[in-house]
Structure 1
Amino acid sequence: MNKTCIIGTRGSDLALWQANYVKDRLAEHGISAELKIIKTQGDHIQHLRLDKLEGKGFFTKELEEELLSGKIDLAVHSHKDLPTVNPPGLKIAAVSEREDPSELLIVLKDCVDLKKRLSLKHNAIVGTSSNRRKAQLLSFRPDLEIEDLRGNVNTRLQKLRDEQYDAIMLAKAGVERLQLDLSAFHVEVIPPNEIIPAPAQGVLAIQIRENDEELDTLLQQIHQPDVAETIRVERNVLNLFEGGCHMPLGCYCRKSEFGYEVWTAKAKNGEGFPSRLYLKSDRTEGLAEKILAKFSIDRKLPSSVFITRELSESSYLKRSLAQHHIAVEARSLIKIFPIINTLDPYILKYVRWVFFSSKNGIENFFRLQPRLSKHVQYAVVGRGSEEALRSHGIVPAFTGEAEGIEMEKVGDAFAKVAAGSTVLFPRAKGSLKTIQSRLSTDTKVIDLPVYETRIDDHVERSGAEVLIFTSPTNVEAYFKDNLIEPGQHIISIGNSTGKKLEEMGLPYSLPFSPDEVGLAEAVFGIDNTNRRTSERGGSAETVTSLL
């Protein structure tokens, strides 16, 4: 290409970074380019909430008009800002690599409360202009006050510095691209399977005229087809829901060894409790349509759930089931007994990591009032254990939730960070030692049984359509006197519980994450008309061969 390409971009620091990024990638392939700054409707109107702006594409329309008129050769967009359908005559020729699509919760340091989920004090004021973020934040912390926040990234951060808010939420990708200094704040990184991002969050879209074949061919040199494959699912979901930027919809697809995994969250509005779904498939074709079908108002969900754990009124799972009018019966089938009363100070002296695999392990360990070095770091198996640890004012340095439900993978990930140190494992007597078995030979393990479980002598059966088991001992307790009834669907909170069910020849489902959010996703993924299909969070994965 002999001429210099004209790249159209908005004028914010982030937009300019994005345009210059594309310019640099083109230069690597011998294509020269220069930038043209164009103001959009979204830049001009700063006093209205995003969902009050008319139509779709209020951050992109003017760039597209310049492109159609031939005044620029290509436009660089944050892909998540684009309408799902291109204007006639335009197309997306290439997409960038995907930056981390996680969210950042950026908190004033005097508004931090480590005992609370997300480290935010009670009734904190959080700034965000996104209904998607608002609905998901309130599902975790209904006490929060959400207020509108507009402006570019630096403007939003300045509003936080000026204490107009206690915290704000931003996309991690934008903050990292600008290399902003956030040392004045407390920052919580929220992974994309916890607060589910906007479709195509973290990806840049390069838009050109449909008939510009020469530029299209050149752009294939920087196009990322694997990224395009996953965000196509997310964008198709958005399109099928006929949603725009203001819709409280999150969708995140990734490729893993399990195939394509997709998380979706959708609420009726910013105040509504979002329904969440986890699906996986070995191909992307038809996946968006499957997700849409799961969210159909005509789909029949289970009417009742039994779980072998007591639930508080503020429980995420209980509130998730309530919005679908699903009756819940929650009762533990086991009793917990502490088995030690003191800790040997000599043992604690050399500990550098403490790994918790259960809430009971946490409560029974801290009951002993351990005196550990301030340099000790804490690890937990998942979000449920993290929440219990936070109640003691401790934020874990490692959370296995990002690895999903596969304990071997959690163990392998933890082995890398704990290599060569001494790790203490407060646990139940007789529990599995999967994590311990994955550690390197130069890592010293201290096993510390701090409690034991005993089953109730007689457990009444439940007629609920879904049975959720939260430990192997609860499985033993229930099926000592009871049988599974026709049509009942079993969900196991994790692999060790699942292995106990397998020993009994019982089919079951696994959620992605071993916590109440994962359980809510798994229940929502069950069709009442097809309850005997065993699924991992709603996907068509057979867990046992007895179906």
Structure 2
Amino acid sequence: MKTPVIGARGSVLSKSQVNIVINLIEKKLNLKVSFKPLKSLGDIDLVSKISDITKEGSFTSTIEQALLKKEIDIAVHSFKDLPTVNSNKLRICAVLPRNSPKDLLIIYKESLRYDENGSWKITNGSRIATGSERRRSQLLNEFPNVTTPDIRGNVNTRIKKLLSGIYDGIIMAEAVFERIQIEIPENIIKIPLPLEKYPTSPAQGAICLQMEEDHALLDIVSTLNDPLTEKAVNLEREILASLGGGCQLPLGVTIIKSEGMWKVSLSIAHSDWKLHKQPNLTRIFLETVDFKSIKEKILNNINYISIPDKNLDKKSILLVGSKTTTDSYSFPIMTMGANVQSLNFFDYSEIWSKEFIKNHKSEWEKADWIIISSKRAIPALISFQKIFPKKNVQVATIGGNTARILQSKGLSVHIISKEGTAKSLISDMKKIVKKEQSLLILGAKNLIKDLTSELTKIENEFFSIPVYEAIPINSFDGITLKEEYDYTIFFSSNHVKTFFDKFSNVSSKNWVAIGPTTAKTLTDSGISNPKTATQRSLNGILEVIT
């Protein structure tokens, strides 16, 4: 048998990865192999920004072609560089145990400052170079007063540029430093970036092996596969594919298993992030033992992602909901060519204080589960936890956006309503919550009744503490609505009721509800067959209006 040939890029990092693979093959499979270095489009074009090299697989397609032409037998890739759709006749036959998935901030010490608690900040005006849109959006979200110039080149080139003083810092994968020796002077520090704030590219830190699906050695090489790494990184890539993205999508998603739990960190920049000095990000952090539920939970709870390729061709659209909600939807819908108007009927006022919290100590300490009805109850939850800390507080939320905010503040969310309704949440909780456990609702003074009504159907003891109230806006001076809209979209039942009380003369060719509860309220208000978004997200709405 001829000596099998390994093909990979010829960079220092790639060669180090090839050496890892060669050692494994020779020691575990008792095979001798040779190495053929190859150049990819990404290696040849060192001028364009990575985000401008728009073809997915720019760093891997040459190597895949070499496999198909039988010039090589085994391809070695950084898994994050591969397209999410595998090439015909090729198969990922092994994923090696993952190195660190984290990013590193490599920065001059003089560009950092520390507060009294020892937490670091990047000095305003620092130049932190990166070629990744995902890293750029994450960094600017936390440090809006830095600049993020583009950087290209291999590992050594980037380090040389940093040492030359062109930049104050750069961001690189921690796995790079685990695989190759890189000398860093004492005046430069390496800071691992926490996955909760800086989840990384799908499959970052993982090496994969690719072969023709009918190759004689396929089954033998497949024995090098690490099932745990394969399971995690394949799901990360599935989530990327489901969002329609390639390496240009500013998405970070990292899934690791620790202490028996799957821990998922995700961030994605809103479609208009480049218009803002401090970009808006959607963040999700969850912990679960149920691996199969992760993808559904992620996709059901991303409210605002990127602008799909849709054309709304000057359609008139009225968004009726809270200001925060309508603001997040109006920009992408306008970008698709629609004429958008927003309408809000409520202001919100907190009714809790430190003394209030102390007066409700007994309910808080008795509760095994905390149900958060909306994001406006989150400050009260945080204050309860600060004044009367609970070691194992378990949280359930009705809304995905509420869950994301909680996760961004470092709190775990154990149950998220699939449909965004009180009925759905309590149905989900029945499957998990033990009968002897007590439940506490934190929500609006005049809006908790849906939850309490559902909770009467189960056997658990429960309490409710109103922590804010929705105050109707009674003056609509200056608001001029059209007589008719192409689409009127409602984001809550309360807004449906108020709309028909105040603007019964406004008609719409299509009435749309964000979820089934809101759709039922529309039906009860005399609207026949309202459309219902397929999920509580921009894409869920677009599926019913385009």
User: Where on the TM-score scale, by shorter chain, does this alignment land: which range?
Assistant: 0.5 to 0.7
Q: 2:291 aligns to what SS in structure 1?
A: coil
Report the CA distance between 1:50 and its aligned residue. Answer: 1.0
Report the CA distance between 1:331 and its aligned residue. Answer: 7.1
1:127 aligns with 2:134: no
Percent identical? 28
Aligned to 2:309: none
Alignment of 1:446-457 (within 5 A): 455-456=354-355
Decide whether the 8 Å contact of 1:5 with 1:74 is kept in 2.
yes
Find the partner of 2:209 among 206, 220, 230.
206
Aligned to 2:257: 255
Q: Which amino acid aligns with 2:101?
A: P
Q: d(CA) in 2 for partners of 1:89 and 1:506?
A: 47
Q: d(CA) in 2 for partners of 1:494 and 1:256?
A: 29
Aligned to 2:96: 96
Q: d(CA) in 2 for partners of 1:167 and 1:79?
A: 26
Distance change (3 Å), C-alpha of 1:158 and 1:215 = same
1:196 aligns with 2:87: no
- Mean CA deviation greater in 167-176 or 188-197: 188-197
Decide whether the 8 Å contact of 2:283 with 2:407 is kept in 1.
no
Aligned to 2:46: 46
1:295 aligns with 2:302: yes
Decide whether the 8 Å contact of 2:7 with 2:74 is kept in 1.
yes
Distance change (3 Å), C-alpha of 1:128 and 1:187 = same
Report the CA distance between 1:188 and its aligned residue. Answer: 1.2
Q: 2:267 aligns to what SS in structure 1?
A: strand
Report the CA distance between 1:289 and its aligned residue. Answer: 3.5
Q: 1:107 aligns to what SS in structure 2?
A: strand
Report the CA distance between 1:239 and its aligned residue. Answer: 0.9
Report the CA distance between 1:474 and its aligned residue. Answer: 8.8
> CA-to-partner distance for each residue in 1:289-340, whole Å, 9 max, x for gaps?
4312222559xxx9779xxxxxxxxxxxxx9998579999797966xxxxxx
Q: 1:139 aligns to what SS in structure 2?
A: helix
Aligned to 1:428: none
Q: d(CA) in 2 for partners of 1:3 and 1:475?
A: 77
Q: 1:145 aligns to what SS in structure 2?
A: coil
Q: d(CA) in 1 for partners of 2:11 and 2:391?
A: 56
Q: d(CA) in 2 for partners of 1:524 and 1:136?
A: 26
Aligned to 1:61: 61
Distance change (3 Å), C-alpha of 1:90 and 1:141 = same
1:518 aligns with 2:521: no
Distance change (3 Å), C-alpha of 1:474 and 1:268 = farther
Distance change (3 Å), C-alpha of 1:86 and 1:513 = closer
Report the CA distance between 1:263 and its aligned residue. Answer: 1.6
Report the CA distance between 1:529 and its aligned residue. Answer: 2.8
Aligned to 1:32: 32
Q: 2:106 aligns to what SS in structure 1?
A: strand
Report the CA distance between 1:477 and its aligned residue. Answer: 11
Aligned to 2:280: 273
Aligned to 1:360: none
Q: Which amino acid aligns with 2:84?
A: T
Decide whether the 8 Å contact of 2:99 with 2:206 is kept in 1.
yes
Q: 1:279 aligns to what SS in structure 2?
A: strand
> CA-to-partner distance for each residue in 1:447-466, whole Å, 9 max, x for gaps?
xxxxxxxx43xx5xxxxxxx
Aligned to 1:105: 105
Aligned to 2:242: 240
Q: Which amino acid aligns with 1:229?
A: K
Decide whether the 8 Å contact of 1:321 with 1:520 is kept in 2.
no
Q: d(CA) in 2 for partners of 1:75 and 1:506?
A: 46
Distance change (3 Å), C-alpha of 1:41 and 1:110 = same
Decide whether the 8 Å contact of 2:394 with 2:412 is kept in 1.
no
Report the CA distance between 1:542 and its aligned residue. Answer: 4.8
> CA-to-partner distance for each residue in 1:76-96, whole Å, 9 max, x for gaps?
000001001111010100011
Find the partner of 2:420 among 529, 540, 544.
529
Decide whether the 8 Å contact of 2:6 with 2:76 is kept in 1.
yes
Report the CA distance between 1:497 and its aligned residue. Answer: 5.8
Larger Rg: 2
Decide whether the 8 Å contact of 1:153 with 1:175 is kept in 2.
no
Q: 2:219 aligns to what SS in structure 1?
A: helix
Aligned to 2:512: none
Q: d(CA) in 1 for partners of 2:394 and 2:227?
A: 41
Decide whether the 8 Å contact of 2:95 with 2:207 is kept in 1.
yes
Aligned to 1:6: 5
Distance change (3 Å), C-alpha of 1:13 and 1:488 = closer
Q: d(CA) in 1 for partners of 2:415 and 2:371?
A: 21
Give unpaired runs (5+ residues) of structure 2: 306-319, 331-343, 440-454, 456-546
Distance change (3 Å), C-alpha of 1:216 and 1:528 = closer
Q: 2:114 aligns to what SS in structure 1?
A: coil
Alignment of 1:68-467 (within 5 A): 68-115=68-115, 118-184=120-186, 185-212=188-215, 214-257=216-259, 259-269=261-271, 271=274, 272-285=279-292, 287-297=294-304, 455-456=354-355, 459=356
Decide whether the 8 Å contact of 2:300 with 2:418 is kept in 1.
no
Alignment of 1:456-535 (within 5 A): 456=355, 459=356, 473=358, 476=361, 492-493=381-382, 517-518=408-409, 529-530=420-421
Decide whether the 8 Å contact of 1:100 with 1:172 is kept in 2.
yes
Aligned to 1:16: 15
Q: d(CA) in 1 for partners of 2:394 and 2:176?
A: 47
Report the CA distance between 1:54 and its aligned residue. Answer: 3.0
Q: Which amino acid aligns with 2:6?
A: I
Aligned to 1:388: none
> CA-to-partner distance for each residue in 1:374-429, whole Å, 9 max, x for gaps?
xxxxxxxxxxxxxxxxxxxxxxxxxxxxxxxxxxxxxxxxxxxxxxxxxxxxxxxx
Aligned to 1:375: none
Q: Which amino acid aligns with 1:226?
A: L
Q: d(CA) in 2 for partners of 1:474 and 1:154?
A: 61
Q: Which amino acid aligns with 1:101?
A: P
Distance change (3 Å), C-alpha of 1:507 and 1:238 = closer
Q: d(CA) in 2 for partners of 1:476 and 1:63?
A: 63
Q: d(CA) in 2 for partners of 1:206 and 1:218?
A: 12
Q: 2:420 aligns to what SS in structure 1?
A: helix
